[in-house]
Chains A and B, each alone.
Chain A
Amino acid sequence: AALNDGLRSQVSAALKEGRVAPTELCQRCLALIKSTKFLNAYITVAEETAMKQAEESEERYKRGQPLGILDGIPVAVKDNFNTAGIETTCASNMLKGYISPYNATVVQKLLDQGAVLLGKTNLDEFAMGSGSTDGVFGPVRNPWSYSKQYKEKSVPKSHSEESNWVITGGSSGGSAAAVSSFTCFAALGSDTGGSTRNPAAHCGVVGLKPTYGLISRHGLIPLVNSMDVPGILTRCVDDAAVLLGSLAGHDPKDSTTIQDDFEPFELPNLTDVSKLSIGIPKEYHAPGLSSEILALWSKAADLFKNAGAKVVEVSLPHTRYSIVCYHVLCTAEVASNMARFDGLEYGHRSDMKDSTESMYAATRREGFNDVVRGRILSGNYFLLKQNYEKYFVKAQKVRRLIANDFVKVFRSGVDILLTPTTLSDAAPYTEFIQEDNRTRSTQDDILTQAANMAGLPAINVPTALSKRGLPVGLQFIGRSFQEKQLLTVAKWFEKQVQFPMIQLEEVKRHDSGVFQHQKSASFS
């Protein structure tokens, strides 16, 4: 089995048939993590516990009793999910050294199915950001910066690699980089404004944002309670469906999960798209959208049309206010959610002893970075009595208008919306940091944010390489709780575009089977 195999079709089969052992798979991934350390994708690598899990999995396979498809599969988890016994930092000084006493529900589900938890991945501090550049452990580097495809297209400079590297996007950049560089088969991210889909697009992997209420948030350190969802990052759509199957479902510990029964599903191989209606929202032709991505989007629409699907232009008139609305609601909820960090029960605690208030203030002063503090202060401003109606309630009203836009469009007979995921391919780090975090977030989240506002499922599918040799993805947005339809269409599209595999030196060294066939990333 090669490191780039799809779960369902190849790795799981290989494990079951004994062609590869879980411990061997784990070791290879751990070795690759070491040799790709420069990517800074991982904050914590749980080597010992991972090997132990791999050994236990091996025992189960020997007895012929694997727990399921995920048994023995190495996975990574974004560092804002609680993991028992493993440090959970949210890339912040506030939680450095914090060892969770419990597993987030989604982590527990993965472990219950035998998955091997390799480690916790890097992110923007408290998931605030769109570059994975603002965490205390430093920025994450996009593996594609070191790919043959990117290097071939870059202008040779004297110190090219060091200054040329591009960002992963964020905030789940570490998870996206981990999946993209083959150090794990799947990773968990979180998605509040696009934090799973954005890095997925920049790193050339599949990024799924499930419907709000489908997957438990228990144990996911919250940013915006009404919009957060755990995100799934994999190398192909089929794998995303497998992960979804193991994670979705009601959780009594999270009262915002719906009570409907969830049936895991296998994705059919769609051959006939003539009954499908694809909507192209014209407002997603946002200012700043690169001509390259516009062309790709257009080409994708034609792809569906030529295959017999009905492709219509639709309108989501309040799209451009989605980012403003998000800005207010996010900062308001952040102001509330970050109040728990006071140094008393967990996390960083200042040495200040004069009074509770001064200890809290000093702790928070020392623990949070500028971005976090900025959002807390803005949020508190919008929640002041004199501003409450003007900003917070107003934003809630605009939110309803945005959600209603989608309802109207889906009611008119459209099944799936097709939009770009990002405005351009990944920017070089040196360029990205020229603007501050909030400005970047407002620019980069524009195409992904509205789905969070309305709670809809959305997925990024890697589509093609830009002329700089970097991945570009397109986004599909579906109806609430219709993940099966969304993923089925995404899988069809993935098959049509045949996105190229990343060619990385490090991976070549560790897994000689990888480059023998220049196949696409989808192995279904």
Chain B
Amino acid sequence: MRALLLGRWLRAGPGPPRPESRNGGNGGHRGNGGHRGNGGNGGHGPLRQKVSVEVLDHLEHLALVDFRDSEGVERLHKAIQFADQLHEVNTDGVEPMDSVLEDRCLYLREDDVTEGNCTKELLENAREKVEEYFVAPPGNIPLPKLEERETFLQGS
């Protein structure tokens, strides 16, 4: 079954493109240096470039969580370094795998209403509500820009 990954549709456009396999990216492929090919201790190669403040800010906007301090940013750098080991693997001609159950048909049930009408229970856990509405602060107001926000990234 093809699992619906919201992330995929929102970020990569109408459908996953099928590029020729390339370990692309502007940083190039670290084929020669760094990798000791030792996955046991999370082998790290030398970090080729730090993530720019613009990207870090962009991530904070997308994720709506903050890095909080330099440790948080370091954590991301280490995570990227670690993930870069993937590029050692030759995946020519290999299809991405969404689900281990891809050989089976997704179960579809009849379009009949079998449950619902539980407004009261669902509203119980909300802190702010009015009648049968969840109440949110005003929308369509973007987060302030980097310069105007109180964020650790400002000092970077």
Contact = CB atoms under 8 A, between A and B. Distances in A.
5 contacts: A324-B39, A349-B128, A368-B65, A394-B91, A397-B94
Contact of B91 (A336, A391, A401): A401
A433 B14 CA distance: 44
Contacts of B78: 438
Interface string A83-116: 0000000000000001101100000000000000
Q: Which 7 A-B pairs have the closest CB atoms?
A: A287-B40, A455-B100, A320-B39, A396-B96, A355-B141, A346-B125, A397-B91
A255 to B, nearest CB: 5
A321 B85 contact: yes
Given A101-B125, A213-B101, A318-B89, A327 B83 contact: yes
Interface of B: 1, 3, 5-8, 11-12, 16-17, 19, 23-25, 37-42, 51, 55, 58-60, 62-68, 71-72, 75-76, 78-80, 82-83, 85-89, 91, 94-101, 104, 106-107, 109, 118, 121-122, 124-128, 134, 136-139, 141-143
Contacts of A252: 107, 109
Given A327-B79, A382-B83, A343 B127 contact: yes
B141 A381 contact: no
A377 B40 contact: no
Nearest to A325: B86
Task: Give the bracket for the number of chain A residues in contact with chain B.
Answer: 35 or more
A442 B44 CA distance: 12
Contacts of A353: 137
B82 A442 contact: yes
B125 A256 contact: no
Contact of B42 (A323, A356, A370): A323
Nearest to A441: B42
A359 B65 contact: no
**What is the interface of chain B mostly: helix, strand, loop, or mixed?**
loop
A358 B65 contact: no
Contacts of A150: none
A320 B126 CA distance: 44
B62 A380 contact: yes
B144 to A, nearest CB: 8
B86 A374 contact: no
Given A288-B40, A325-B86, A399 B66 contact: no
Given A336-B6, A374-B79, A438-B75, A346 B118 contact: no
Interface in A363-405: 364-365, 368, 370, 373-374, 376-386, 388-401, 403
Contacts of A343: 127
Interface in A311-359: 318, 320-321, 323-325, 327-328, 331-333, 335-336, 342-347, 349, 352-359
A5 to B, nearest CB: 36
A160 B128 CA distance: 49
Contacts of B98: 226, 396
Interface in A9-60: none
Nearest to A336: B7
Contact of B107 (A259, A342, A358): A259
A318 B94 CA distance: 14
B17 to A, nearest CB: 7
Given A359-B136, A397-B94, A436-B75, 17 more contacts: A101-B125, A213-B104, A252-B107, A255-B1, A324-B86, A333-B7, A370-B71, A376-B63, A381-B76, A383-B7, A389-B17, A391-B83, A395-B86, A399-B97, A438-B75, A438-B79, A454-B100
B128 A446 contact: no
Contacts of B7: 332-333, 335-336, 383, 392
A226 B134 contact: no
A485 interface: no
Contacts of B38: 287, 320
A212 B91 contact: no
Contacts of B60: 377
A344 B126 contact: yes
Given A98-B125, A287-B41, A393-B16, A388 B11 contact: yes
Contact of A226 (B3, B40, B68, B85): B3
B40 A446 contact: yes
A373 B137 CA distance: 23
A361 interface: yes
Nearest to A212: B100
A258 B104 contact: yes
B136 A356 contact: yes
A213 B42 CA distance: 30
A423 to B, nearest CB: 9
B95 A398 contact: no
A191 B128 CA distance: 34
Given A213-B101, A349-B127, A383-B7, A378 B76 contact: yes
B104 A380 contact: no
A466 interface: no
A436 B76 CA distance: 13
Contacts of A392: 7-8
A384 B11 contact: yes
B135 to A, nearest CB: 8
Contacts of B109: 252
A381 B72 contact: no
Nearest to B93: A397
A370 B79 CA distance: 14
A451 to B, nearest CB: 11
A514 interface: no
A384 B7 CA distance: 9
A265 to B, nearest CB: 22
A128 to B, nearest CB: 13
A443 interface: yes
A516 interface: no
B89 to A, nearest CB: 5
Contact of A443 (B37, B41, B126): B41
A151 interface: no
A464 interface: no
Nearest to A367: B65
Contacts of B67: 373, 377
